[in-house]
Amino acid sequence: MASVTFDHATRIYPGSETPAVDQLNLEVADGEFLVLVGPSGCGKSTSLRMLAGLEDVNAGRILIGDRDVTDVQPKDRDIAMVFQNYALYPHMSVADNMGFALKIAGTPKAEIRQRVEDAAKILDLSQYLDRKPKALSGGQRQRVAMGRAIVRQPQVFLMDEPLSNLDAKLRVQTRTQIASLQRRLGVTTVYVTHDQTEALTMGDRIAVLKDGLLQQVGTPREMYDTPENVFVAGFIGSPAMNLGDFKVADGKANLAETHIPLSRATLDALTPDDNGHITLGFRPESLDTTTQDEEGSFPVTVNLVEELGSDAFVYGQLANAEAAEAITSGAGESQMIVRVDPRRPPLKGDTIWVKIRQGEQHHFSPATGERLPS
Amino acid sequence: MPAALQITAAAPDPALLDLPWHIPLEEWPEDLLAALPRGISRHVVRFVRMSGSVIAIKEIGESVAYREYALLRDLDRLDVPSVEPVGVITGRTSPTGEPLDSVLITKHLKFSLPYRALFSRQLAPDMATRLIDALAVLLVRLHLIGFYWGDVSLSNTLFRRDAGAFSAYLVDAETGDMHQQLTRGQREYDLEIARVNIIGELMDLEAGGLLQDVEDTVLIGEMLVQRYNELWRELTQEEEFSSEDRWRVSARIQRLNELGYDVGELQMTTDFDGTTVHIQPKVVDAGHHHRRLMRLTGLDVQENQARRLLNDMDTYRADTDRLGDDEEYVAHDWLNEVFEPAIAAIPRNLRRKLEPAEAFHEILEHRWYLAEKAGHDIPTADAVASYVRNVLPDRPDEEAILELDTATLRAISDTDTQIGS
């Protein structure tokens, strides 16, 4: 097992001027489960393929452990791409299906058996080793495929959107399985997905990329609680964070009839480039329903209520139509999302007054998108 | 039919609408199926008869289905041997409203042979070599156009007879990716996947007692790597020679032509003093003989078949003393006087056995065999009659070998005997 280091790793595709991955610096600790996440075209798959040796590294380098693998061929990197292909061979036993790559590599029989038995134990497949794959369920067959990668004892597992091909139910199941299996094996794993929920639920740490640039790396909690810029703020979390453009005056952030006090630290961090504006972010669950008289409260017209049993979300917009345009969320332009008490949801067309809970608002510079101190 | 069903196809066949899309593929009634399902595959796949031909239907996630459809269309446009995509159907629901997986539909490739059918018989001594060669040619061709396969294997390939050799077709592009140009890492990794998969597949046949005449499965997998590298080098390698040896430019082009490639672009540079020349083919297109035969006769056949037919045409030209005539006229007459009559002489009930061009190749082989036995030339018409009487009837129908049962295997295994016997 080993750590993985991207050291200013850059990939520029032939014929392209902008890098697909731009000076990526990233350390994955030994045994860590790191998820690369971002919208399509952000460079996450390219980064993974650079680590796999499938993409050239035009500048910078990549290390596995202390070994510089930048110019090492894929098969000599001691990595395993998991789930790429999991065709099972019908005439071979489950054990042979798991161990055949070792046989090709000339590993002694006794050692193959030992490694296969060890992997089977972890995968709950011990009692099936001498059966044919036909006798297995779909989930068990998938575990045999995982077993194939495990018996090779690679330094790093690589997974590129392995769940994209599964239906919703199996996706959630397999997600949990992969995460717990990885923890039991303790093999360094780099996992690519476009799905932030997958990232939050699986990774020890998450790296968010956009346009080939690393935006932020951190634990799921850090990414959620202290997004370092507007992009990460809007990308991580479901439903998404509300983001509003406020005018700064009298030490407050102002939008129509709403006035939200700002701290000294926040105000001091603003620059002339911000042009007297500030971006405020607040998650749907950081809003309390309140009354009109409370300072900092604002009215929201309810367009839709999504009831999930344990939660209810209001999708609406600021009652003041002109000001509404200043607010966006994952639900779209001029839209706001508010978590409300599922036992007393408002009705469509109602106006509710909400207020950001103390200390739960995020501040960003409109000029740079960077996080400002609270 | 639920309103949400959506069919994406370049040329939609209305008969598609008559298929029971509201039923999971696994439960489709047997009378619809062109062959009963066998084996374990990652996805549910069924062969179905539609409008006089056979289509393959694969249940798969929506985005993956569209992706593979687009990739297969690209490959088709670029003239790479691959299965032809028919369309994608999404928005399937069961009568109770349960959503069902999308499907990708492809045309079944006529006269194609799965590797299981080919390896599970008494192999002619170099059969394994010929199959591996075909796969190496396909892989090189895919890599030249920037296609990374990601799951090269014998089961993702179909083989068609090609004048005694084989040509390989890509069947599954699910893991594929089109790039501007492949990196060495991508090519090497594809090769490594191919090597391991091929050995695995052969080991599986071995475990099932179905593998004949292959001693060392690992060696066969390694053969692919070797053949691929040889061909790749020949097609792309830079050559350096003294400027006095300029004949080597045309020699290189001729060598590539003989391998079946046309040179689309050749980069030639000289040193400052002009004494050394470097040449490197930049764009090579496969199908040199195929295209030439197509231009002359309109026949659309495999590369080696084309080579064979062109050779016979050249012989015909010499025999009829028309070396001074335009090639086009000779080709026209050869088609009318030699090729067409030979194919027309094959009775209708035997036509499902081999493609016409392959049958013609076998007729030429048979003619050679008869001539050798008789000690003098045999007219093609006599050879055709003897071939139709003595050889063809014993061959299995190869037009639509879909999934194999043991009876088919046995039937095919008898066919690799000498064409002359």
3-state secondary structure A158-197: EEECCCCCCCHHHHHHHHHHHHHHHHHHCCEEEEEECCHH
Please judge whether B175 and A166 are an interchain contact, meaning their C-beta atoms are less than 8 angstroms apart: no
Q: What are phi and psi of A320, to 5 degrees?
A: -75, 105
- Helix B303-319 and helix B327-334: axis angle, to 10°? 100
Please judge whether A14 and B180 are an interchain contact, meaning their C-beta atoms are less than 8 angstroms apart: yes
Look at residue B405 in the predicted model and tell me its pLDDT. 43
In a domain, B418, yes or no: no
Show contacts of B339-347: CB within 8 Å, 24+ apart.
Answer: B339/B297, B339/B299, B339/B309, B341/B381, B341/B384, B342/B380, B342/B381, B342/B384, B345/B381, B345/B384, B345/B385, B345/B388, B346/B384, B346/B388, B346/B392, B347/B388
Do residue B182 and residue B91 come from a single domain?
no
Residue A257: name the closest of A350, A186, A323 by CA.
Answer: A323
Q: How far is B154 from chain A (nearest CA, A)?
A: 12
Query: ∠A118-A119-A123 over CA atoms, to 5°?
Result: 120
CA-to-CA distance for A317 and A319, rounded, in angstroms? Answer: 6
Residues of chain B positioned with their CB less than 8 A from the CB of A74:
185, 188-189, 192
Put simply, whether A147 touches B (Cβ < 8 Å) is: no
In a domain, B1, yes or no: no
Phi-psi region of A330 (alpha: psi -120 to 50; beta: other; left: phi over 0): alpha
Identify whether the C-beta of residue B194 lies closer than 8 Å to the C-beta of residue B153. yes
A110 Cβ neighbours under 8 A, 6+ residues apart: none
- Helix B184-207 and helix B217-236: axis angle, to 10°? 150
- Residue among B38, B62, B183 with most chain A CBs within 10 A, to mutate: B183
Q: Edge to edge, what strands does the sheet with B157-162 contain?
A: B112-113, B157-162, B165-170
Of B107, B122, B146, the position where a domain reaches its end is B107
Please judge whether A75 and B208 are an interchain contact, meaning their C-beta atoms are less than 8 angstroms apart: no
Residues of chain A positioned with their CB less than 8 A from the CB of B203:
89, 92, 96, 100, 103
Please judge whether A100 and B197 are an interchain contact, meaning their C-beta atoms are less than 8 angstroms apart: no
**What is chain B's length?**
421
Residue A71 has pLDDT above 60, yes or no: yes
Establish, for the pair of chains A and B, how many residue pairs have beta carbons separated by less than 8 Å.
91
Residue A168 has pLDDT above 80, yes or no: no
Please judge whether B200 and A52 are an interchain contact, meaning their C-beta atoms are less than 8 angstroms apart: no
In a domain, B294, yes or no: no
Look at residue B121 in the predicted model and tell me its pLDDT. 61
Q: How far is B82 from chain A (nearest CA, A)?
A: 19
- With the CA atoms of B201, B202, B204 and B207 taken in that order, what torsion angle do they form, in degrees rounded to the nearest 10? 180
Q: What confidence tens digit (pLDDT) does each residue in A245-254 have?
A: 999 999 999 9
Look at residue B315 in the predicted model and tell me its pLDDT. 87
> Looking at residues A202-227, what average pLDDT do you find?
96
Put simply, whether A40 touches B (Cβ < 8 Å) is: no
Question: What distances in angstroms separate CA B136 from CA B145, B166, B257, one per listed residue?
Answer: 15, 11, 18
CA-to-CA distance for B383 and B371, rounded, in angstroms? Answer: 9
Do residue B170 and residue B213 come from a single domain?
yes
Rounded percentage of chain A residues whose pLDDT exceeds 70: 99
Residue B3: name the closest of B15, B23, B28, B21 by CA.
Answer: B21
Q: What confidence tens digit (pLDDT) does each residue in A3-25 have?
A: 999 999 999 998 889 999 999 99
Question: What CATH number corresponds to the domain at position B91?
Answer: 3.30.200
In a domain, B296, yes or no: no
Put simply, whether A137 touches B (Cβ < 8 Å) is: no
Element (DSSP H or E) covering residue A243: strand A242-249
Picking from A56, A134, A165, the nearest residue to B183 by CB comes out as A56
Picking from A74, A86, A91, the nearest residue to B188 by CB comes out as A74
Range of the domain at B192: 112-236
Put simply, whether B101 touches A (Cβ < 8 Å) is: yes
Question: What distances in angstroms separate CA A102 from CA A116, A208, B28, one per listed residue?
Answer: 10, 36, 39
Please judge whether A104 and B199 are an interchain contact, meaning their C-beta atoms are less than 8 angstroms apart: yes
Q: How far is A251 from chain B (nearest CA, A)?
A: 49
Identify whether the C-beta of residue A181 lies closer than 8 Å to the C-beta of residue A123. yes
Q: What confidence tens digit (pLDDT) does each residue in A308-354 have?
A: 989 999 999 998 888 888 899 877 888 899 999 999 999 999 999 99
Of B66, B85, B107, the position where a domain reaches its end is B107
Phi-psi region of B163 (alpha: psi -120 to 50; beta: other; left: phi over 0): left
Do residue B281 and residue B320 come from a single domain?
no
Phi-psi region of B3 (alpha: psi -120 to 50; beta: other; left: phi over 0): alpha
Picking from B60, B188, B204, the nearest residue to A73 by CB comes out as B188
- Residue among A16, A40, A82, A89 with most chain B CBs within 10 A, to mutate: A89
Do residue B269 and residue B252 come from a single domain?
yes
A167-171, A285-289, B291-295 — most confident range? A285-289
Do residue B231 and residue B243 come from a single domain?
no
The overall longest dimension of chain B from CA atoms, in Å, is: 80
Residues of chain B positioned with their CB less than 8 A from the CB of A54:
148, 183, 185-186, 189
Put simply, whether A73 touches B (Cβ < 8 Å) is: yes
Look at residue A118 in the predicted model and tell me its pLDDT. 94
CA-to-CA distance for A68 and A235, rounded, in angstroms? Answer: 33
Do residue B88 and residue B151 come from a single domain?
no
Picking from A73, A96, A141, the nearest residue to B185 by CB comes out as A73
CA-to-CA distance for A87 and A91, rounded, in angstroms? Answer: 12
Question: What distances in angstroms separate CA A162 from CA A179, A219, B68, one per listed residue?
Answer: 12, 21, 16
Look at residue B2 in the predicted model and tell me its pLDDT. 46
Question: What CATH number corresponds to the domain at position B222?
Answer: 1.10.510.10
Do residue B325 and residue B349 come from a single domain?
yes
> Looking at residues A108-137, what average pLDDT do you find?
93
CA-to-CA distance for A193 and A40, rounded, in angstroms? Answer: 9
Question: HEC profile for chain B?
Answer: CCCCCEEEECCCCHHHHHCCCCCCHHHCCHHHECCCCCCCCCCCEEEEEECCEEEEEEEECHHHHHHHHHHHHHHHHCCCCECCEEEEEECCECCCCCECCEEEEEECCCCEECHHHHHCCCCCCCHHHHHHHHHHHHHHHHHHCCEECCCCCCCCEEEEEECCEEEEEECCCCCCEECCCCCHHHHHHHHHHHHHHHHHHHHHHHHCCCCCCCCCHHHHHHHHHHHHHHHHHHHHCCEEEEHHHCHHHHHHHHHHHHCCEEEEEEEEEECCCCCEEEEEEEEEEECHHHHHHHHHHCCCCCHHHHHHHHHHHHHHHHHCCCCCCCHHHHHHHHHHHHHHHHHHCCCHHHCCCCCHHHHHHHHHHHHHHHHHHHCCCCCHHHHHHHHHHHCHHHCCCCCCCCCCCHHHHHHHHCCCCCCCC
Of B107, B124, B154, the position where a domain reaches its end is B107
By C-alpha distance, the chain A residue nearest B222 is A104
Picking from B151, B181, B192, the nearest residue to A75 by CB comes out as B192
Do residue B123 and residue B168 come from a single domain?
yes
Please judge whether A85 and B151 are an interchain contact, meaning their C-beta atoms are less than 8 angstroms apart: yes
Do residue B122 and residue B221 come from a single domain?
yes
Residues of chain A positioned with their CB less than 8 A from the CB of B188:
53, 73-75
Q: How far is CA A324 from the centre of its chain?
A: 29
In a domain, B62, yes or no: yes
In a domain, B419, yes or no: no
In a domain, B251, yes or no: yes
Residues of chain B positioned with their CB less than 8 A from the CB of A86:
42
Q: How many CB atoms lie within 10 A of CB B180?
A: 9
> Looking at residues A152-164, what average pLDDT do you find?
90
Identify whether the C-beta of residue A281 lies closer than 8 Å to the C-beta of residue A230. yes
Counting the structural domains of chain B, the total is 4
Residues of chain B positioned with their CB less than 8 A from the CB of A164:
61, 63-64
Picking from B185, B193, B199, the nearest residue to A53 by CB comes out as B185
- Which domains does chain A possess? 4-232 (3.40.50.300), 240-372 (2.40.50.140)
In a domain, B292, yes or no: no
Do residue B102 and residue B186 come from a single domain?
no
Half-sphere exposure of B232 (CA within 13 A, CB side): 20
Q: What confidence tens digit (pLDDT) does each residue in A120-129 have?
A: 999 999 999 9
Element (DSSP H or E) covering residue A270: none
- Helix B356-374 and helix B380-390: axis angle, to 10°? 110
Put simply, whether B171 touches A (Cβ < 8 Å) is: no
Which stretches in chain B have pLDDT values below 70? 1-3, 36-41, 120-125, 402-421
Q: Which of residues 281-340 of A touch B (CB under 8 A)?
A: none
Look at residue B421 in the predicted model and tell me its pLDDT. 42
CA-to-CA distance for B393 and B349, rounded, in angstroms? Answer: 9
Please judge whether A89 and B201 are an interchain contact, meaning their C-beta atoms are less than 8 angstroms apart: yes
Put simply, whether A169 touches B (Cβ < 8 Å) is: no
Please judge whether B204 and A90 are an interchain contact, meaning their C-beta atoms are less than 8 angstroms apart: yes
Local structure of A313: helix, strand or coil: strand
B353 Cβ neighbours under 8 A, 6+ residues apart: B359, B392, B395, B396, B397, B398, B399
Phi-psi region of B99 (alpha: psi -120 to 50; beta: other; left: phi over 0): beta
Q: What confidence tens digit (pLDDT) does each residue in A46-69 have?
A: 999 999 999 999 999 999 999 999
Q: What are phi and psi of A15, to 5 degrees?
A: 85, -5
Do residue B220 and residue B246 come from a single domain?
no
CA gyration radius for chain B?
Answer: 24
Q: What are phi and psi of A340, to 5 degrees?
A: -125, 170
Do residue B143 and residue B253 come from a single domain?
no
Residue B21: name the closest of B125, B113, B99 by CA.
Answer: B99
Q: How many CB atoms lie within 10 A of CB B36?
A: 11
Picking from A13, A87, A91, the nearest residue to B155 by CB comes out as A87
Look at residue B411 in the predicted model and tell me its pLDDT. 40
